[in-house]
Amino acid sequence: MGFWILGICLFVGFVFIFLLLAPRPTAAGALLQEAVRPVRAAETPAWRGALDVDFVAKPFTFIRSLIASEPNPELVRRLMLAGYRKPAHADIFLGSRLAIPAVLGLLVALFINTSTIIFFMVAIGVGFFAPDFWLSWAINKRRERIRLSLPDGLDFLAICLEAGLGLDQGIIRLGQELRVSHPALSEELLQINFEQRAGVPRIAAWKSFADRVDLESARSFVGMLVQTDRFGTPISKSLGAFSDSLRTQRRQKAEELAAKTTIKLLFPLALFIAPSMGIVLLGPAFISLVKGFSRAFGV
C-alpha cells in the first residue's frame, strides 16, 4: 500500500511542477515565433519542429538550475553529435534520467507483488542508464547515415559547381535537395549556411561541421575544401575524385562486413541449427534402433 501512495505522490508532484513552470504565451512571443518559423522549418525536421522542446524542458531546466548553472559540456557535445543542439535538449535528457526511473519504479510498485524491492532497484538502475544507451545508439546511427550519404552529396555538389553555382550556393542547394533522401546530411549543410549568415568565417564553419559529424571522411572533405580555398585549385574535379574514393571505401566496408558474416554465422550454426538438424535427421533412426533392440532382446 505504501508503494501505491508513493507512486501517486510522485506522479502528482511531477504534474504540479510541470504546470507551475510552464511558460505563459504572450503576444510578443507569438509574433516572434511567427517570424522565426520559416528558419526553424528549414533547419529541423518536421516531427522535431512540431515539438516545443522549450516548453517540455522548462521544469527540467528549473531542477537543473538548482544543481548547476550550465549543463555538462560533455553531455552537450554528445547530444550535438546525435543532432540535438538546443540547450533545452540537455535539460530534457537530464530530466529523463529522473522521470524514467520514477515511472518504471511506479510500474513495478503497481504491478509486481513478489520481490518488489529487488525489481524496484533493477527498474531504477535500468531507467537511469537507458538514456545513455539510447544516446550512444543515436550517435552511431547518425554517423552511419552521414557516412553513407556523403558520396552522393559530393556528386551533387560537383554538378552544382560545374553548372555555375558558387561553393556556398551549391552547399545551400545541396542541403535543400537532400532534405528528404538524406535528412541528417541536409541538416548539417544548412547549419553551415546559418553559421556563415551569422558572421562565422567560411573555414571555421566547415571545421565546425567536421567536429559536429566526427567522421574521418568528413574531416578529409573539410581539409580538401580548405586546401582548394587557399590555393585556388578547381574544386569540381577534386570533389569528383574524392567522392569516388569515398564510394570505394563504402564498397570495401560492405565487402568486409560480408566477409565477417561467415564467422558470425558459425556460433548460431553450432548452437542452434546443427543440433536441430541432428535431432531431425538422427532422431527417427535412433528411435528405430531402440525399438529393434527392444524386440531382439524381448525387453
DSSP 148-211: HHHHHHHHHHHHHHHTT--HHHHHHHHHHHTTTT-HHHHHHHHHHHHHHHTT--HHHHHHHHHH
**Structural domain contains residue 286:** no
Domain boundary among 85, 115, 139: 139
Picking from 98, 195, 231, 79, the residue whose alpha carbon sits closest to that of residue 142 is 79
Q: Are residues 200 and 95 in the same domain?
A: no
> What pLDDT score was predicted for residue 18?
47
> What pLDDT score was predicted for residue 21?
45
**Sign of the alpha-carbon torsion through 258, 263, 264, 266:** positive
Q: Are residues 131 and 240 in the same domain?
A: no
Helix (H) or strand (E) holding 145: helix 116-162
Q: In the chain, helix, strand, coil percent, each to 5?
A: 85, 0, 15
**Structural domain contains residue 52:** yes
DSSP SS3 for 51: coil
Q: Are residues 169 and 104 in the same domain?
A: no
Tens of pLDDT along the chain (299 residues) come to: 555 565 565 555 555 554 444 444 444 444 434 444 444 444 444 444 445 676 777 777 776 777 777 777 888 888 888 888 887 888 888 888 888 888 888 888 888 777 778 888 888 888 888 888 998 999 999 988 888 888 888 888 888 888 888 888 888 888 888 888 888 888 888 888 888 888 888 888 888 888 888 888 888 888 888 887 777 777 777 777 788 888 888 888 888 888 888 888 888 888 888 888 888 888 888 888 888 877 777 65
> What pLDDT score was predicted for residue 27?
47
**Structural domain contains residue 294:** no
Q: Are residues 112 and 182 in the same domain?
A: no
Q: Are residues 12 and 126 in the same domain?
A: yes
Domain that holds residue 73: 2-139
Identity of the residue numbered 96: S
Q: Are residues 132 and 23 in the same domain?
A: yes
**Sign of the alpha-carbon torsion through 195, 32, 78, 72:** positive
**Within 13 Å of residue 173, how many CA atoms lie on the same side as its CB?**
16
Q: Are residues 38 and 151 in the same domain?
A: no
> What pLDDT score was predicted for residue 31?
42
Please give the model's pTM, rounded to 2 decimal places: 0.67
Q: Are residues 124 and 152 in the same domain?
A: no
**Structural domain contains residue 218:** yes
**Structural domain contains residue 299:** no
Q: Are residues 194 and 236 in the same domain?
A: yes
Q: Are residues 14 and 100 in the same domain?
A: yes
Q: Are residues 114 and 101 in the same domain?
A: yes
* CA 179 from centre of chain: 17
Q: How many domains does the chain have?
A: 2
Domain boundary among 120, 139, 158: 139
Q: Give the whole-angstrom CA distance, residue 50 versus residue 200.
A: 28
**Structural domain contains residue 33:** yes
